[in-house]
Structure 1
Amino acid sequence: GRGELWAGSIVGDWGSLDYIDCMAAADYLERLPYVDKKRLGVTGGSYGGYMTNWIVGHTDRFRAAVTQRSVVNLESFAGSSDIGFLDRVEFGGHPWENPDGYRRMSPLTYAKKVKTPLLILHNESDLRCSIEQAEELYATLKLMKKRVEFVRFPEEPHGLSRHGRPDRRLARLDWILKWFDRYLK
């Protein structure tokens, strides 16, 4: 989906129509004659990272995933992000006003269902999606003995991929390529 109407349809319901949309895109790709549906990967950053986390907690159709500067626990995100108003607008109030909604929309809630190997890339100076989001996901998946790796980029903000230090931008791309090379061949 796209546009304001679609964006408004997921307010208070992250992981619903947006997930259906992503799966429809994957369905389309799988029908293409040159796509090997047994070797699909998924990646995204920021909200796309949220969706990557959500996807691997709800399906095992992807052989590998890379989540970048993402959100995993909406309750802790509400108290640590530089988007101070988002919780009230997007999640139906503050965490104490809608705890069930926060848990339902948090990818961390579904961590035990993750079967897809996951690479977590996160920036230590990210004020939008704090590094604690990645740490929560990594610690949880490691404790559950899931296939997960975590790469931290020092000093980098939310926008590493666009305006980070050149050597770190290259390192980020290298990690992504190596991860997909390992699991998608």
Structure 2
Amino acid sequence: MHGWVSVPDGAGPHPVLLMIHGGPFAQYTVGLFDETQVYTSAGYAVVYCNPRGSAGYGREHGLAIKERMGTVDLDDVLGFLDGVLASHPELDADRVGILGGSYGGYLTAWTIAHDHRFAAAVVERGFLDPEVFIGTSDIGSFFSQEYTGADPAHRVTQSPQAVVDQVRTPTLVVHSEQDLRCPLSQAERYYAALRRGGVDAELLVFPGRTTS
């Protein structure tokens, strides 16, 4: 599994951001990525990789999370993070945040329900409730069912909304008002559930914007 570590200037130890790409059938590459530049300029080290489910590594790799989202992909991103922290003493393992958008928002929300090590999380334009996503996204009804299955009982086993009561991590939920791919209701319902559960959470909505 390929991944990268972008480190800011200075000796450190640097706070760390685990960043997860969207898609999920997408990939990080060696090309210039503006988000890492912004974060490293702010003093953060950025850890990012291509877990199973990503594009660019063949059909088997891409289909590895079909109807089992939040399983091997979760293992991959956390395993990569653990390996990086063990091998890079300039990174501060006690100050780690997590963030991602779209599928990255999904896996961020899923991760913080199952792993409580993170100081904070940013869930951006997330795919957070596979059931409600069906019929409300411009991508069509096929997407949610292709990834999480046709059986509602099985879909719920892969739903961040279903395990939101397990979250303890302070979380910023970011979304755009006119996002047609991941509708705003995904963020609103997730944020409301975080607050009901006593989580330190905030919701940032960009009025009139189609992407965040």
Structure 2 residue 89 is the aligned partner of structure 1 residue 89? no
Please point out which of 60, 65, 84 is paired with 2:121: 65
SS of alignment partner, residue 26 of structure 1: helix
User: What's the CA shift string for 1:27-68, capped at 9, x where partnerless?
Assistant: 022211011111000000011010110111110011110010
Correspondences of 1:1-185 after superposition (within 5 Å): 1=51, 2=54, 3=57, 4-31=59-86, 32-84=88-140, 85-93=142-150, 98-158=151-211, 160=212
Q: Determine the structure 2 residue equivalent to 1:166.
A: none
Amino acid of the residue matched to residue 80 of structure 1?
A: T
What percentage of aligned pairs have identical amino acids? 36
- For 2:172 and 2:148, locate their aligned partners in 1 and report how far apart those are by CA, in whole Å: 27
| Counterpart amino acid of residue 190 in structure 2 | L
Unaligned runs of 5+ in 2: 1-50
Structure 1 residues 64 and 89: CA distance shift in structure 2, 3 A: same
1:88 Cα shift?
3.4
Work out the number of aligned pairs and report it.
Answer: 155
Distance 1:88 1:144 in 2: 28
Q: Say which SS state the counterpart of residue 98 (structure 2) adopts.
A: strand
Structure 1 runs not aligned, ≥5 long: 161-185
- After TM superposition, the score normalised by the length of structure 1 is 0.80
SS in 2 for 1:55: helix
Identify which range, 79-88 or 40-49, moves more after superposition: 79-88
1:9 is matched by which residue type in structure 2?
A
Q: For 1:39 and 1:109, how far apart are their aligned partners in 2?
A: 28
- Following the alignment from structure 2 to structure 1, what is the Cα–Cα distance between the partners of residues 173 and 144? 24
Deviation >3 Å, runs of 4+: none
Alpha-carbon RMSD: 1.2
Q: Of Structure 1 and Structure 2, which has the larger fraction of its residues in helix?
A: 1
SS at match of 1:137: helix
Question: How big is each residue's C-alpha offset from its partner over 1:63-120, in whole Å with a ceiling of 9 and x where there is no partner?
Answer: 1100100011110011211121213322222xxxx11111101011111111110000
- Larger RCO: Structure 1 or Structure 2 (Cα < 8 Å, ≥ 6 residues apart)? 1
Other structure's SS at 1:9 match: coil
